[in-house]
Each structure stands twice: as structure tokens, then as C-alpha cells.
Amino acid sequence: MAVQKTAEPRSSRTAQAAEADEAATGPERLMAAELADEIEFLTARARSVGSGRANIALKELDLRVRSYSVLSLACSDLNPSQRELADFLSLDPSQIVALVDELERRGAVTREADPRDRRSKVIAATPEGRQLYKQAFALVRTSEEHSLGELSLEERGQLRALLRRIAFKSAD
Amino acid sequence: MAVQKTAEPRSSRTAQAAEADEAATGPERLMAAELADEIEFLTARARSVGSGRANIALKELDLRVRSYSVLSLACSDLNPSQRELADFLSLDPSQIVALVDELERRGAVTREADPRDRRSKVIAATPEGRQLYKQAFALVRTSEEHSLGELSLEERGQLRALLRRIAFKSAD
DNA sequence: CGTATACCATTGATAAAGTCAACAGATTTT
DNA sequence: AAAATCTGTTGACTTTATCAATGGTATACG
């Protein structure tokens, strides 16, 4: 269950030597290991390759998956507060501060005082932010398509439903 | 698609105020957002809560998910090299060095020279390492059970199969 | 053969992400 | 109104991630 790396592994796989020796040294010989059956390991690896690809794709907009997520929620017309963003994205509030700082500096989002609770600040997207999100979404879309390419629409629906249940378990 | 945090969010959710105002301020109000439908976001969040819990559980053995993963593969009798570990776990080779260093220092694994290729080193578990893995596996098991609790065995099978396909796409 | 090229483990530098404690201002509780 | 709690923020500090460079091996190939 490790799998944290977020960028593309620079694997090469030139070596087809030592393959006819006694065990097929395939690229993923270790899939036979017990670990490869653990759902949480597979989840970790899936997200690693996925967000790795997405980060590369987003680089041309000078965004990362994290800032994209914040921007996306800011564009959602749900008027999220920073605390809500932190909870939803499983990030520390202080990390949200940095992310919003940068998006705000770029003119993509604004911090607006919440009339109901002057402690909290709701994050809203500017027109420029929405325009940026549009482009970013397209890139992420393509990247995701690349990652999920083999899955049918139905399978994607299944996967989404299953993941939602483990990603948003109410109390525990 | 952010969701990197690996430890337990210290959420509180006392506030049931402002709920009868105009929008139900539920814990996960933002699930209505577009982002919440993205499989890669859900994957990221699922792994975040999962590995967060697992890390807490493993703390009593002074292990983390990363070192557990290495230990697990070392116990697999597949004699993985460090390079294979890096590829499989999506970690940089230099990170593997550090992980193996620590496990070796604890006497859980050993680096053995590969007779076929003296560049690479095969990681093998010691008896103590296997003993440690046994305990760790039990902890991870419980933790995972906690995370996947709502899913039936059949659903877990589906999820595993789907994840495997996106986690191990051959070439791209 | 011998030399160029690629590979593995390792080190070290640097950037990014995660964790935690503390604080000011605002709100809720009692 | 005092105590307790919450929100965003800052700052310190640890862990991960990324990347370049190196010494010892191995492979390719002329």
C-alpha cells in the first residue's frame, strides 16, 4: 500500500535479457505477490498513476491536481468555505490557505466574507478563473480518458459508485 | 483530484447551526460538485482515508504504509530487486534505498547480491521480518476491513478487478 | 576484444506535501 | 459576560517527491 509517487516513472524496459532463464522477468512480475490483491494498495497505485498523468497534463496551465481541485470547487456555485474545502479534499486548512493564495494571486478566485459567519471566507471563481477551469477540465478529461481507457461506461459507473462508498463513509 | 493528506482529519462537526437557513450544511455538502463525480478524485480520496487509517494502525509497530509494502513484498518469496520494488510501488529508487535501509537496520530484511546481475540487490525477509509482517498484516487487515466495511465480498471483487486494470495498464 | 551505452543502487540537493501548535478575531454555549 | 469552540493564518518541522550525478556492472556492437 505504498505508492505515493505522483510523477511518471522513468522506466525503460530495454532489457529482455534474463527472461528465458527460469522466471519470466516481465515488467510486473510482482503482481503475483499478496500485496497486489490488497484493494488499498491498488487504490494507491491507481491514484498515483492517475494524478501523475494529470499533473503532467496540467503543467501547461501551471496548475497541479491540488489547485485544479480547489478551482473546480470554486467554480461549482456551492460557495465553499476554506474549511469545507479542507474537509472535502482531505487537506489541512493551512494547505488550503496556500492554494487559495496562489489562485487568488492569479486572479482566478476571490475570498469573500461570509455574511452569516464573519469568521469564514467563501471562495468564488472569477470569470478568468472559470475560463481557466474550462481549459484545465479539458486537459484532466483527456488525461483521465487515457487512464480509464480500457473501462466501458458501465464499468466506470460501477467503479465510481464503489469508490464513492469508501471515500465518503459517514461516521467511523 | 487533490486529496493527499494521509492522516486523520480532525474534523468535529459540532455545528448543526445554519442548517435550516437555506441549504442543508451537511458534512459533505460539496458532494454535489462536479468534482465529486470524477473517478480520479474519488480514488485519491479513498486512498487518503484508507492509508491514513492504515498508518495510524501501523504506528504501534513503528511501521508506515510504505515500509509495510516493502516488507510485504520482501516476504513474498519473489525475491524482488530494489528496482522492481520502485517500479511496483511507484516510488523513486532513492526512496527504496531509505526504506530498505531502515528495515535492514531493524533486522527485518536483508540485501542479497543477485548472482545473475551483480548490480542489483535482492531484498529478502528475515524470520524476524516475517514475524513482523504477520503482525502488520493483521493490523492492515483490520484497518482495511474498517474502510471497506460496507462492501460485500462480491463488490470487493469487482472493485479489485476494476482497480487492477487502471493501476496496471501495460503501455501508454 | 574494447568501447560506447544503458542499468542498478546510492548519495545529495531541492521542492512539494503533510503535520502540528499557536494566535487573533468571531461565534456559540452556558 | 465568560468560557469554549470555530475559522483562517502563520510558522516550524517532518515526511515525500523529484531530479541530477556517480561508481560499479552489464549489454551492444563494431
What pLDDT is recorded for position B171? 59
Yes or no: say if B166 and A147 are a contact pair by the CB < 8 Å rule. yes
Yes or no: say if A68 and B1 are a contact pair by the CB < 8 Å rule. yes
Q: Which residues of B110-139 are buried (b: 16+ CB within 10 A; e: fewer)?
A: bbeeeeeeeeebbbbbbeebeebbeebbeb
Condensed to tens digits (0 to 9), the pLDDT of residues A6-26 reads 433 333 333 333 333 334 455
CA B91 to chain CA mean position, Å = 12
Say whether pLDDT at B48 is over 90: yes
What pLDDT is recorded for position B149? 80
B111 touches strand C (CB under 7 A): yes
Condensed to tens digits (0 to 9), the pLDDT of residues A124-134 reads 999 999 999 99
Condensed to tens digits (0 to 9), the pLDDT of residues B81-135 reads 999 999 999 999 999 999 999 999 999 999 999 988 999 999 999 999 999 999 9
CB spacing of A160 vs B50 below 8 angstroms: no
Yes or no: say if A109 and A93 are a contact pair by the CB < 8 Å rule. no
- pTM for the predicted model, two decimal places: 0.87
What pLDDT is recorded for position B26? 52
* Type and span of the H or E element at A122: strand A121-125
Q: How far is B118 from chain A (nearest CA, A)?
A: 13
Q: Which of B45, B47, B65, B146 to mutate to test the interface with A (most CBs of A within 10 A)?
A: B47
What pLDDT is recorded for position B138? 97
Condensed to tens digits (0 to 9), the pLDDT of residues A48-103 reads 999 999 999 999 999 999 999 999 999 998 999 999 999 999 999 999 999 999 99
Q: How far is A3 from chain B (nearest CA, A)?
A: 5
Say whether pLDDT at B19 is over 70: no
- Cell numbers that stand for A20 in this block: 528465458
